[in-house]
Each structure stands twice: as C-alpha cells, then as structure tokens.
A = this chain, B = another copy of it.
Amino acid sequence: MYVCPSATPADTSGLQALAGAGKIKPDTLVALVGKTEGTGAHDDWGRVWADAALREWTASFLGVPVEEVAKHVIFVLSGGCPGVITPHIAAVTREWVEAPERQADDKRLVVGRAGSDAIAPEEVGRMGMIRKVAAATHEAMKDAGLTDPKDVHLVMVKVPGLTTASIKDAESRGKTVVSHDLTFGPEGAGVYANDGAALGVAMALGEVPESKLSDEVVRRNWDLFSEVALRSAGLRFNDGLPDEQDLDRLVHVFAKSVIPGSDQVRGRRITLLDDVHAYEIGKALGGMLVASVTGRTTNYVSGGERNSHQGPPGGNIVAAVVRAE
C-alpha cells in the first residue's frame, strides 16, 4: 500500500510517480482508496471530479477503456477533509510472493475484492442491499484466500446513495425508498446506505445472524453491528499513545468517526446533535484524534454520521496497516 498526498482533487502525479518507479503495475493495482477535499456533502464536486480523473488515469495506465476500469480496480473515495485531514490517495497492490514456511499464527496482510450484484434504489438501506453486500463480502474473502471470518480486519464497501433521479425512477415503478433526504443526516439516504453495508458485512462475518435482520432494524436497533479493532495490528501503546518507533512502521490508518446518538459524553451534555454542521464537525473530530495519536495528518478518516452499525454504540472502528518488524 502506497499513500500519495493530493495537491488538487484531480492530482494524479503521485500515482504517476509510483507507476514510473515500478511500485504499482497494471497487473498489481487492485484498489485506489482516498480522501478528497471539498465539503463532503452529498453533492461535493471535488469528490466527483477526483473520481473522474482517477478513472481516466487508471484507464490509461491499464490500457483499457474508462468504462472497463471498474472491473480491474476498486475506487473508494470519501469526500471532505475538514480540519487536519490531508487529501490523499492510497494505492493498494497485490502480488503473489514465495513465502518461507511459516507458523499458523504468523499472519500477513492480504486483500480481496468483489463487486456485488446491482443494487436498486428501493433496496438501498434495506434487506436487499444487506444480502447483496453479504454475498459480495463472501466473494471478497474467497478472492483473498480467507476462510475464517476472524482473519477479516477491515471491509470497505463502496455504497450507492440515492439521488433525485434514482428516487424518481423507483417511485415511477411503484416502489418506495428508505428516505427522501439525500444527505448524511440522521434520516438521510447516505447513512441508511452506509448502515445497510455495515449490516451486510456483519451478516457475512457472522457478527449478526440473518434471522435478526430486517428492514426495520436498520438505524433503529443499535445492538446489531460490525466491528474491527486497532490494537490487534501489533502496535504497542504506552499510556494511550503509540511508541515513536511503532509509528515509523505505520503505513496507513482507516478510521470512522461516528457521532454518538446521545447528547452526553461521560455524563456531560454536548450540543453536537443539534449542530447544523454536525456531519462535518464529527468528521473533523475523528481526524484530530487520529492525527494526535499518529502524529501525522495523512489518515483516512470518514464519518460524521449520527450513530452507525459500523461499530458498537458510542464506539468507532479503526484499522491500521503496519509493516512487520
């Protein structure tokens, strides 16, 4: 995994340099994952422009038409870098390496990927989506050569939001949609989509049995969730902060910064739930926390939603990629 800061949303110079140095190759590049500058709102054009520019660059790099790029490389772009989050693109590569005989618990990082079946607007944030994401998660595990869900430490899902056009499409076919709110607000289509994906992953990994899932539990029953933990990555913490030496081995951090559903933090009232900028500020708080722990600003921190099935109530998920000692 290689992390390139971006000077503008359409900046592909970092990727070009990696390609020039032979670090990424057309047959090893499997994903581009990044944070783009801009508002992070659902109509953030910085993110859309970055997506267009990255696809165009990748098409040229792979020598395939732009429409076919998605078959080869997964793109996950999270919009909005409020506060101390540096816009960047992480290139994920994969290749087969001859490994010496190892012990069973001496594990290394592998990556798998899969595309789900198409998700209709009426399925977003509902069982239709949950099942399709669960199936794709199983496919991705297979692609990574994994059979034990315990070996899965991070599942990133590119989720479809709803748009004025897709809602109109669904309703013209007599279907309802989960929300008419296009935003990432507490009843917004964006958070229903994210949470549908989280529950799909939880179902695939056996964290939540399918029998407990239904359209009604999404964003209502917070006891159902998926989670991943940072400390298992092998970093040592000393009174809350990682060692300087360990930080040298830290390749990248993926974190979610979800706003708790309560207006109390450790018994004291905060006003974040009532803040019209809660979504942006929630993301900024997570970015600050990760930056203060890692000592760097180039971290993948998304979030800002109120409550989520992407972690336990009041908790958040974080995953770190660390070079072996």
CB of A160 closer than 8 Å to a CB of B:
no
Q: Which residues of A from 275 to 295 have beta carbons under 8 Å from B?
A: 275-277, 280-282, 284-285, 288-289, 291-292, 295
Interface string of A1-28 (1 = CB under 8 A from B): 0000101111000000000000000000
Q: Which segment, of A111-119, A185-193, A200-208, faces chain B? A: A185-193
Among B83, B183, B239, B268, the residue within 8 A (CB) of A5 is B268
CB of A123 closer than 8 Å to a CB of B:
no
Q: Whole-angstrom distance from the CB of A86 to the nearest CB of chain B?
A: 4
In the complex, 15 of the A-B residue pairs with CB atoms within 8 angstroms, ordered by the A residue number, are A8-B48, A9-B45, A39-B39, A44-B45, A48-B49, A49-B49, A84-B270, A164-B274, A182-B273, A183-B276, A185-B187, A241-B241, A265-B291, A277-B277, A289-B292
Q: A164-B263, A285-B84 are in contact. Are A271 and B187 (CB under 8 A)?
A: no
CB of A87 closer than 8 Å to a CB of B:
yes
Question: A42 — nearest CB in chain B belongs to which residue?
Answer: B274
Contact B297 A265 (CB under 8 A): yes
Residue of A43, A182, A270, A282 with most chain B CB atoms under a 10 A cut-off: A270
CB of A180 closer than 8 Å to a CB of B:
yes
Q: How far is the CA of A276 from the CA of B44 in the complex (A)?
A: 10
Q: How far is the CA of A153 from the CA of B187 in the complex (A)?
A: 34
Residues of B within 8 A of A277 (CB): 82, 277, 280-281
Question: A163 — nearest CB in chain B belongs to which residue?
Answer: B274
CB of A308 closer than 8 Å to a CB of B:
no
Q: Whole-angstrom distance from the CB of A37 to the nearest CB of chain B?
A: 5
